[in-house]
Amino acid sequence: MVVTGEGTQRERFGRRLMDATNGGFDVATAYLGLRLDLYRSLADNGPATAAELAARTGTNERLVREWLEQQAASEILEATREPGGWRFALPPDHAAVLVDPEALDGFGGTILAQIASLAVVPRLVESFRTGTGIPFADYGADMIEGQAASTRPVYQAELPTWLAAVPDPDGRLSGGSARILDVGCGLGRSSIGIARALGGAHVDGVDLDPASIEAARSLAGAEGLTDRVSFEVRDAASLAGAGYDLATMFEMLHDLAHPVEVLSAARQALASGGLVLVADEITGDEFTGPADEVDRRHYGWSVLHCLPASMTEPDSAATGTVIRSSTVRAYAEAAGFSSVEILPVDSVAFRLYLLRP
């Protein structure tokens, strides 16, 4: 379809889909750049010709040349014509967004997770017909790594502020001996961040994904925190009466098949006076038709991943990524909490809820 000018509604919609198609190619080719360390080589070792980059990364020169030209044509890379041919460079600001693991505006993790979600789209056809979900594990390593990479800089930059906003009248959290339960810890970045923010605290991270727990244990060892951070493949329901001062649930309530039951389990794991801290998506108060960029993105994740992954168990709540504040309050009330407070924390990604038993 060839369209020019402002055009009709049909033509404008065609241009939108054309732009989306090009964006899809950008995401797919960026994935190749990440997984083959092409971006990393350009960032660390400087500009290169196709032959040089292929030699550096152990890849095929012809394919690398086509990738480099596509990246330059899309203005991701810069290309300079030299006597010996074209040389390609990754601008520093682009490198930060693509490969810096601590960049709050980084997109490397998002790209990995999106490719993992797109890979299961053919299976979603059957899910839509039958209502049968797709297990989280079936989304593969790209999803696990991508989610962890996306939240890592947020936890690193914001966790101390989140925890400082939690009421601590008797000094449990700041006293250096707090016991924290991190439910749905994933690869463990949140648990590690909590331990660093609350010096002396002991953090138990639990998750039902064995691969994530194995990676989390390796991370705790690499960070030298095995004396204060532990990880187990465990259901939070098995921890009733454990006496934790704080239970955390970060970006996972909307993924749960049975959120009320898990919230109830977290409540029962608390000591007297303990609290639950939930971090989940910042969404609009209700569906209103056309939405802002944030809710549109949340709906995309919901259709491709979060909702089908949560529908693999019988009687799933089927929440989805677009979790409203009213939904969190309803789940908390059903789980036996007396109050839900939205903490006055300015986060780039999450809304913080404080739940009191």
* Per-position DSSP letters for 266-281, written without gaps between them: HHHTEEEEEEEEEEEE
Same-domain pairing of 118 and 75: no
CA distances from 57 to 29, 63, 112, 187, 206 (A): 16, 12, 19, 27, 37
Q: Is residue 104 assigned to a domain?
A: no
Q: Is residue 176 assigned to a domain?
A: yes
Q: Is residue 105 assigned to a domain?
A: no
Same-domain pairing of 199 and 73: no
Other C-beta atoms closer than 10 Å to the C-beta of 74 total 14
Annotate 257-273 with b (16+ C-beta within 10 A) or e (fewer).
Answer: bbbbbbbbbbbbbbeee
What is the tens place of the pLDDT at every residue in 96-147?
999 999 999 999 999 999 999 999 999 999 999 999 999 999 999 999 999 9
The domain that holds 141 is classified in CATH as 3.40.50.150
**pLDDT at res. 5:** 55
**pLDDT at res. 4:** 53
Same-domain pairing of 270 and 186: yes
**Alpha-carbon gap, residue 292 to 78, rounded angstroms:** 32
Same-domain pairing of 118 and 84: no
Q: Is residue 50 assigned to a domain?
A: yes
Q: Is residue 233 assigned to a domain?
A: yes
Same-domain pairing of 294 and 243: yes
Last residue of one domain, picked from the residues 44, 76, 98: 98
User: What is the span of the domain harbouring residue 116?
Assistant: 112-356
Q: Is residue 344 assigned to a domain?
A: yes
Q: Is residue 348 assigned to a domain?
A: yes
**pLDDT tens digits in sequence order for the chain, 357 residues long:** 454 557 899 999 999 999 999 999 999 999 999 999 999 999 999 999 999 999 999 999 999 999 999 999 999 999 999 998 999 999 999 999 999 999 999 999 999 999 999 999 999 999 999 999 999 999 999 999 999 999 999 999 999 999 999 999 899 898 888 999 999 999 999 999 999 999 889 999 999 999 899 999 999 999 999 999 999 999 999 999 999 999 999 999 999 999 999 999 999 999 999 999 999 999 999 999 999 999 999 999 999 999 999 999 999 999 999 999 999 999 999 999 999 999 999 999 999 999 999
Same-domain pairing of 244 and 304: yes
pTM assigned to the model: 0.92
